[in-house]
Amino acid sequence: ELADMITDEKPDGVLAGLRVLITAGPTREALDPVRFLTNRSSGKMGFALAAACQAAGAQVELIAGPVNLPTPIGVRRYNVESAQQMLDKANERVGKAQILIATAAVADYRPRAVQDDKIKKSSDSIALELEKTPDILGELSRRETHLFTVGFAAETRELERYARAKMQRKNLDMICANEVGPGQGFDVDENALLVFWPGGQQQLGPRHKRALAGELVDLIATRYATGDEHAGAVAP
């Protein structure tokens, strides 16, 4: 009985002994002290994946943009706001991880100049100059070649085409595509994913994000176990 208890203390599950870094939620890109650009990401999928990875035996760190969700038990959470803050924190935490799951809906563009004071409503129209935010997932994936990287692609159309292009461009081991639009994907509890990897694909769901997360973790563990197929190892 004592032996059983001691054995139970060792994590088991399909991700036992692995460290997983997860990004989740939207980012906010400030125009001024009060206004910002953001998106409809609720963070639910990333938080569900954090819980599922933890349940599968992994040590999980979660870098979260501004969301209204409780931290899953056993998960270490870091709160950030902007894409730049998310990149900085990911750079700091990625070293020991074997798997990176990037669910965050990072803002693609940010205002080029942040105003110190609130912008006054004076002219009838203004042109807001936007510049690209850092490519967090692509940067980490290309630099950390040991890392098994899982990306997400929320698309309004041409799911497979855009998702496979993103996987290749960012040098990912896997990409999970889902269709978004009113009542789909963002800010809802149900989701469906079309998962692609260099040599295959699989449909998961539609079902509750928590159940979907468990299935995706199983698939990630299976693909991770194939090891030598890591995109990081074969990229130019």
47 binds a copy of itself (CB under 8 A): no
- Smallest gap from Cβ 17 to a copy of itself, in A, equals 36
Under 8 Å between Cβ of 221 and 14: yes
Restricted to residues 55-94, the positions that interact with a copy of itself (CB under 8 A) are 68
Structure tokens belonging to residue 33:
């002290």
Binding test (CB under 8 A) with a copy of itself, winner from 1, 2, 6, 112: 112
Whether omega before 11 lies within 30 degrees of 0, making that bond cis, reads no
* Chosen residue from 125, 203, 227, 236 binding a copy of itself by CB under 8 A: 125
The whole-angstrom separation of Cα 163 and Cα 52 is 23
The CA-based dihedral angle spanning residues 234, 157, 204, 47, taken in that order and rounded to the nearest 10 degrees: 80
- Which amino acid does the sequence have at 190? E
Is residue 31 a contact residue for a copy of itself (CB under 8 A)? yes
Select from 1, 8, 124, 228 the one that contacts a copy of itself (CB under 8 A).
124
38 lines the binding site for a copy of itself (CB under 8 A): yes
Residue 128 within binding range of a copy of itself, rule CB under 8 A: yes
Residue choice 5, 126, 227, 236 for contact with a copy of itself (CB under 8 A): 126
Cβ neighbours of 207 (radius 10 Å): 16
Whose CA is closest to 52, among 229, 218, 223, 199? 218
Q: Decide: is 17 part of the binding site for a copy of itself (CB under 8 A).
A: no
- Indicate whether 113 belongs to the interface with a copy of itself (CB under 8 A): no
Compare residues 168 and 226 and give the one whose CB is closer to a copy of itself: 168
Pairwise CA distance, residues 159 & 3, whole Å = 50
Choose, by CB under 8 A, the member of 12, 17, 118, 226 that binds a copy of itself. Answer: 118
Among residues 5, 127, 228, 236, the one that binds a copy of itself under rule CB under 8 A: 127
Q: Does 183 bind a copy of itself (CB under 8 A)?
A: no
Question: Three-state secondary structure along 200-231?
Answer: EEEEEEEEEHHHHHHHHHHHHHHHHHCCCCCH
Tell me the C-alpha to C-alpha distance, in Å, between residue 70 and each of 139, 176, 178, 188.
29, 24, 24, 16
Q: How far is the CB of 60 from a copy of itself (least distance, A)?
A: 25
Phi then psi for residue 167, to 5 deg, are -60, -45
79 flagged as catalytic: no
Give the footprint of a copy of itself on this chain (CB under 8 A): 31-41, 68, 105, 107-109, 112, 116-119, 121, 124-132, 154-157, 180-182, 186
Residues with a catalytic annotation lie at 39
